[in-house]
Structure 1
Amino acid sequence: MSHETPTRAVVLGGSLAGLFAARVLADAYDEVLVIDRDVLIGVDVPRRGCPQGRHINGLLTGGQRAIEELYPGITEEMLADGVPKGDLGGTVRWYMQGRQLEQQHADMLCIGPSRPKLELHVRERTQALSNVTFVERTDILGLETTADRSRVTGVRVQHLDSGEAEVVDGDVVVDATGRGSRTPVWLAELGYPQVPEERKKIGLGYVTQYYRLNSDPYHGDLSINVVAHPKLPRGCIFAKTDGGRIEMTTYGILGDHPPTDQAGLYAWIDSLGIPEYSDALRDAVPLTEPVAFRFPTTLRRRYEDMPRFPDGLLVTGDAVSCFNPVYAGGMTMAAKAALVMRSHLHTGAAPQPLEYFKDLARDVLDPHWEMTNVVDLSFPGVEGKRTLSVRMAQAFLKRVQIAATRDGKVTAAYMRAAGQVERPETLQRPGMLLRILVQSLRGPKSRPPHIVTRPVRPAAGQAAEQSAEPAA
Structure 2
Amino acid sequence: MSGDKTGTRAVVLGGSIAGLFAARVLADAYDEVLIVDRDVLTGVEGPRKHCPQGRHINGLLARGQLAMEELYPGITQEIFDDGVPTGDLAGHVRWYFNGKRLKQQVAGLTCVAASRPMLEKHIRRRTAALPNVSFREQHDILGLVTTADRGRVTGVRVQSLTGGASEETVEADLVVDATGRGSRTPVWLEELGYPRVPEERKKIGLGYVTQHYKLLADPYDGDLSINPVAFPEVPRGAIFTKTDGGRVELTTYGLLGDHPPTDQEGLYAWVKSLAVPDIHDALQNAVPLDEPVAFRFPTTLRRRYEDMDRFPQGLLVTGDAVTTFNPVYAQGMTVAALGALTIRDHLHTGAAPVPAQYFRDLARDVIDPAWEMTNTVDLTFPGVQGERTPQVRAAQVFLKLVQKAATRDGKVTAAYMRGAGLVDKPDAMKRPAFVARVLWNVVCGAVGERLRSRPGPRPGARPGPGTASAAPAGSRSEDLVSAG
TM bucket, shorter chain: over 0.9
Match for 1:181 among 180, 183, 207? 183
Matches within 5 A, 1:305-454: 305-443=307-445
Deviation per residue, 1:57-84 (Å, 9 max, x gap) = 0110000110000000000000000011
SS at match of 2:155: strand
- State whether structure 2 residue 54 is matched by structure 1 residue 53: yes
Partner of 2:114: 113
Partner of 1:287: 289
Distance 2:303 2:275 in 1: 38
Q: How far is 1:273 from its partner?
A: 3.7
Partner of 1:14: 15
Distance 2:417 2:285 in 1: 32
Distance 2:349 2:384 in 1: 46
Q: How far is 1:275 from its partner?
A: 2.4
- State whether structure 2 residue 308 is matched by structure 1 residue 300: no
Asked if structure 1 preserves the Cα contact closer than 8 Å seen for 2:402 and 2:416, the reply is: yes
Q: How far is 1:424 from its partner?
A: 1.2
Asked if structure 2 preserves the Cα contact closer than 8 Å seen for 1:43 and 1:120, the reply is: yes
Deviation per residue, 1:353-387 (Å, 9 max, x gap) = 01000000111000010010000000000000001
Asked if structure 1 preserves the Cα contact closer than 8 Å seen for 2:228 and 2:275, the reply is: no
Asked if structure 1 preserves the Cα contact closer than 8 Å seen for 2:234 and 2:275, the reply is: no
Distance 1:68 1:348 in 2: 24
Asked if structure 2 preserves the Cα contact closer than 8 Å seen for 1:94 and 1:227, the reply is: yes
Distance 1:348 1:420 in 2: 29
SS at match of 2:34: strand
Distance 1:219 1:244 in 2: 16
Q: How far is 1:219 from its partner?
A: 1.2
Deviation per residue, 1:299-319 (Å, 9 max, x gap) = 000000100100000000000
Deviation per residue, 1:119-150 (Å, 9 max, x gap) = 00000000000000010000000000000000
Deviation per residue, 1:133-174 (Å, 9 max, x gap) = 010000000000000000000000001114321000000000
SS at match of 1:442: helix
Partner of 2:128: 127
Distance 1:145 1:70 in 2: 31
Q: How far is 1:283 from its partner?
A: 2.7
Q: CA RMSD in A?
A: 1.1
Q: How far is 1:440 from its partner?
A: 1.5
Q: How far is 1:425 from its partner?
A: 1.4
SS at match of 2:187: helix
Distance 2:236 2:445 in 1: 23
Asked if structure 1 preserves the Cα contact closer than 8 Å seen for 2:86 and 2:111, the reply is: yes
Q: How far is 1:200 from its partner?
A: 0.1
> Which amino acid in the other structure matches residue 210 of structure 2?
T
Distance 2:28 2:349 in 1: 9
Matches within 5 A, 1:182-261: 182-261=184-263
Distance 2:371 2:356 in 1: 19
Partner of 1:88: 89
Stretches (4+) displaced over 3 A: 442-446
Asked if structure 2 preserves the Cα contact closer than 8 Å seen for 1:28 and 1:347, the reply is: no
Partner of 1:144: 145
Partner of 1:455: none
Asked if structure 2 preserves the Cα contact closer than 8 Å seen for 1:84 and 1:112, the reply is: yes
Distance 1:442 1:382 in 2: 33
> Which amino acid in the other structure matches residue 321 of structure 1?
T
Q: How far is 1:442 from its partner?
A: 3.4
Distance 2:311 2:69 in 1: 32
Q: Give aligned pairs, total.
A: 443
Q: Which consecutive residues of structure 1, in runs of 5 or more, have no partner in the other structure?
A: 447-472
Asked if structure 2 preserves the Cα contact closer than 8 Å seen for 1:214 and 1:280, the reply is: no
Q: Report sequence identity in percent.
A: 71
Deviation per residue, 1:382-414 (Å, 9 max, x gap) = 000001000000000000000000000000000
Q: How far is 1:5 from its partner?
A: 4.2
Q: TM-score, normalised by structure 1?
A: 0.93
Q: How far is 1:348 from its partner?
A: 3.3
Deviation per residue, 1:425-449 (Å, 9 max, x gap) = 1011111100001111234899xxx
Q: How far is 1:280 from its partner?
A: 1.1
Distance 1:192 1:362 in 2: 23
Asked if structure 1 preserves the Cα contact closer than 8 Å seen for 2:254 and 2:260, the reply is: yes
SS at match of 2:302: strand
Q: TM-score, normalised by structure 2?
A: 0.90
Distance 1:442 1:170 in 2: 62
SS at match of 1:421: coil
SS at match of 2:117: helix
Matches within 5 A, 1:18-33: 18-33=19-34
Asked if structure 2 preserves the Cα contact closer than 8 Å seen for 1:9 and 1:31, the reply is: yes
> Which amino acid in the other structure matches residue 65 of structure 2?
Q
In terms of mean alpha carbon deviation, does 154-163 or 75-84 score higher? 154-163
Distance 2:31 2:338 in 1: 23
Q: How far is 1:347 from its partner?
A: 4.2
> Which amino acid in the other structure matches residue 69 of structure 2?
E
Distance 1:163 1:56 in 2: 37
SS at match of 1:398: helix
Partner of 1:464: none
Asked if structure 1 preserves the Cα contact closer than 8 Å seen for 2:176 and 2:316, the reply is: yes
